[in-house]
Structure 1
Amino acid sequence: MPETFLSRAGWRDATRTDLAGDASGRRYTRLLRGTESAVLMESPDAAIGPFLTVSAHFDDLGLSVPRIIASSEPQGLILMEDLGDDTFARVIAADPAAETTLGEAVIQCVATWQAAKVPAWAAAYDAEAMTAALEPAWTHAAQPAGPTEECGRLFRTLLEEHGGDEVVLVHRDFQAVNLVWMPGRQDARRVGLLDFQDALAGHPAYDLASYLQDARRDVSPETEAWMLDRFCTVTGRDRDAFGGAYALQSLQRNVRILGLFARLAERGRTGYLAHVPRVRGYVERSLRHPAAAPLADPLRACLAGQVAA
């Protein structure tokens, strides 16, 4: 525990409780000091500069991100505001009827940052980068003799074909466990944002795919369709064109996740395999869209028998 860092911030004597980490290796600790609380993030393997940069951008847009209390880039440490435990995943699990209210807040939040200019620091997550990002799937999840090169070529072609010209900031980990429900705030600020350090410049559909095809929870096709329709209405996008792009963005994301889960399992972190059947279901859902039809047979051949729990 970084005692000197906490001492300088005035939190060394706080009561400490470990919080769940994530696949990245970052560690989180809740600190309690009287009636106050904060969260310490320790990032021993990844620079914290991107977290601070994205946090400042979202804060400038008036969105809800944890206030930074103290940070040390050389040590990989951030002490930040504690947004609480009411993640969207937890709130919806306790009250499924809340899905609609929280969904509206999600749409407001995403629409807010997508309406802003993409920051210059955001690297491109375009068709080329997204195709390259599929490497874990081909290396760790695909059949040895599967047509991985064909799948890669098709992914790039289809992502370009359905990509359009619009580029927005993409959160990239926009899942229900990384969103905190804050009903005491207004409009888009009701969504507390976490784990946004991997943000890039990409397609407007990507973060909706993250939220609506979440590896950790079931989202019905009806909820998915309603939110896509609502998002297109609010943002003035063409539903048919957006639907094709969404199917391919979702497909790329979930195929990549299968590869990441398989790689983690090879390293002994097998807990993520419990989510594989759900992710495979999302892959099949995307493959049923006409925009993804050219990928259906070769991708199924690649992923046949892919490891599951």
Structure 2
Amino acid sequence: MSDLPEGLESFLASAGWGGAEIEPIPGDASFRRYFRIRDGERKAMLMHAPPPHEDPKPFIDVARYLQQHGQRAPELYAEAPGEGWVLTEDFGNDRMRDWLDENPQGEEPAYAEAIDALVRLHDQPPGEFAPYDMPTYMREVQLLTEWYCPHMKLDVDTAAFDAAWQEALAPLLDRQRPGVTVLRDYHAENIMLLDPSSDGRGEQGLIDFQDALVGHAAYDIVSLLQDARRDVSLGLERSMLDRYLAKANAPDEFEADYARLGAQRNAKIVGIFTRLAKRDGKQRYLAMIPRVWEAMERDLAHPALGPVARWFEANIPQNIRDTFGGEIR
């Protein structure tokens, strides 16, 4: 194959997979690429995340942490991080989102297992990862004023925006110490059903966790239950949140922090999806913004988000919030 990255076949040979079949997997990332590797009965997944644009070491570090703490991350077969290569276990094709499209009867047990996995993860000491601190929260949420507001031709008060978010988020900072490992993109597209039964039960595998930080336990629950890419009913969101609260040693303010981080994450995603459409020409992400904005409006209704809700009322008119901006050119 002429389009294979330089060094791929020599890496496979050094890993004991010389002569294996190589199948490129279409992806959305700019520099990271994936390949399915087959050698007789053996199969594996090859990631190419070449420096300087990518760095596979965080993926390797988080995978090892997860494996050491009872989580189902892919086994690492071989690695050459300096060249961007990581050969891992192949989790197959059954992403939770796709599988549930075909098997809606399995939704509740599949989500229950995903919640239980977070309960188990949060029982473990956090990894040695960077903190999910206020500068990080603010840098993320500012994507909304950096990308969405200019696209909508809105002249907004960015100083008041920052102040409102700092006021709303400050109370949760003490409650995320010492914190838990936050995977950050824990949702139905990044959970693999390794051997799903007809009712959705079965082992689940984790992917796309290389950006893990140490932060608040509510963040990954928000990511799962306020999914930007898949409709999660209000009833399922409520029942799964209740499931977590019943199993975890959650503080009294957990639901308020859930709303805080839901609003923060959803504001960030609106900004990211606008950027993907405007800067990168990926228009398909715009169709997801209404789902994200609807969830953010629910979060903003919580009293804990009062300062932020008032900023939205003053700076982004309701009719604009209802239309979400349309196509971006």
TM-score w.r.t. the length of structure 1 is 0.92
* Cα offset, 1:31, TM superposition: 1.3
Change (3 A) 1:23 1:213: farther
> Following superposition, which runs of at least 4 residues in structure 1 exceed 4 angstroms of deviation?
300-304
SS in 2 for 1:165: helix
Measured after TM superposition, the shift of residue 62 of structure 1 is 1.9
1:66-119 CA-partner distances (Å, limit 9, x unpaired)? 111111111111111101111111122112221211122112211111111122
Match of 2:43 in 1: 37
1:275–1:20 Cα change, 3 Å: farther
Does the 8 Å contact 2:165/2:307 carry over to 1?
Answer: no
Q: Which residue of 1 aligns with 2:91?
A: 83
Q: CA deviation at 1:22?
A: 3.7
- Higher deviation after alignment, 289-298 or 69-78: 289-298
* Aligned-pair CA distance for 1:17: 2.4
Quick one: distance in 1 between partners of 2:214 and 2:130?
6
User: Kindly tell me: are residues 204 and 308 of structure 1, through their superposed partners in 2, closer, same or farther at Cα, counting changes over 3 Å?
Assistant: farther
CA distance in 2, matches of 1:11, 1:78: 13
Q: Is the 8 A contact 2:164 2:311 kept in 1?
A: no
Task: Spell out the pairing of 1:187-198 with structure 2 (5 A cutoff).
Answer: 190-198=203-211
Root-mean-square deviation over aligned CA pairs: 2.1
Q: Quickly say closer, same or farther: Cα 1:247–1:20, change in 2 above 3 A.
A: farther
Contact 2:263–2:300 (8 Å) recurs in 1: yes
Q: Determine whether 1:177 maps to 2:189.
A: yes
Contact 1:38 1:79 in 2 (8 A): yes
Which residue does 2:170 correspond to in 1?
A: 160
What is aligned with 2:107?
Answer: 99
Counterparts of 2:313 and 2:15, CA distance in 1 = 53
After TM superposition, give the deviation of residue 24 of structure 1 in Å. Answer: 5.8
The answer on whether the counterparts of 1:67 and 1:81 sit within 8 Å (CA) in structure 2 is yes
Tell me whether 190-199 or 4-13 shows the greater mean CA deviation. 4-13
Q: Deviations over 1:170-215 (max 9, x none)?
A: 0001011111113479xx9822010110000111100011111111
Unmatched runs of 5 consecutive residues or more in structure 2: none
SS at match of 2:175: coil
Distance 1:153 1:128, change over 3 A: same
User: What residue in structure 1 maps to residue 159 of structure 2?
Assistant: 149
Q: Give the corresponding residue for 1:308.
A: 326
Q: Is the 8 A contact 1:111 1:235 kept in 2?
A: yes
Is the 8 Å Cα contact of residues 66 and 83 (structure 1) preserved in structure 2? yes
Which is further off, 24-33 or 169-178?
Answer: 24-33
Match of 2:10 in 1: 4
Moved more, 201-210 or 286-295: 286-295
Q: Which moved more, 1:44-53 or 1:145-154?
A: 145-154
1:139 equivalent to 2:157? Answer: no
Which residue, 277, 287, 306 being the options, matches 1:265? 277
Count of equivalent residues? 305
Alignment of structure 1 residues 213-252 onto 2, 5 Å: 213-238=226-251, 241-252=253-264
Query: What's the offset of the Cα at 1:218?
Result: 0.5
**Does the 8 Å CA contact 2:183/2:209 hold for their aligned counterparts?**
yes
Cα distance in 2, alignment partners of residues 132 and 248 from structure 1: 15
Give yes or no for the alignment of 1:74 onto 2:87. Answer: no
* Contact 1:287–1:293 under 8 Å retained in 2: yes
Q: Which moved more, 1:152-161 or 1:209-218?
A: 152-161
Q: Does 1:206 align with 2:219?
A: yes
For structure 1, the residue ranges without an aligned partner over 5 or more in a row are none
